[in-house]
Amino acid sequence: MAKRADKRPDHNYRRKLRYLMRVGALPHAVGLHHITVYHDAWCGIYQRKCCNCSPDIRLAWSQPDAARN
């Protein structure tokens, strides 16, 4: 994975998504996947800042092969 060129902090939800993909909790297959991210009420994301909570991330549904022609 390429490193970010700028020095902005990474959102916590992005870090958690990458972790869940790495451990196999989220699909890697080509298809259509609906993922829901639930942030805490006090999270910085609501003030247009960086996500600083530990969000709940859930795979709502998945349709593997949906994107294939």
pLDDT tens profile 14-66: 999 999 999 999 888 888 889 999 999 999 999 999 999 999 999 988 887 77
pLDDT at 5: 60
25/19 Cα distance (integer angstroms): 9
Q: Residue 61 in contact with residue 21, Cβ under 8 Å?
A: no
For the chain, which residues make up each domain, given as ranges? Answer: 12-17+27-64
Question: What pTM did the predictor assign?
Answer: 0.74
**pLDDT for residue 67 is more than 70:** no
Q: Is 15 helix (H, G, I), strand (E, B) or coil?
A: helix
Residue 28: which region, alpha, beta or left (left: phi > 0; alpha: psi -120 to 50)? Answer: alpha
Closest residue by Cα to residue 65 from 30, 34, 40: 30
pLDDT, tens digit, 9 for 90 and up, residues 13-27: 999 999 999 999 988
pLDDT at 58: 94
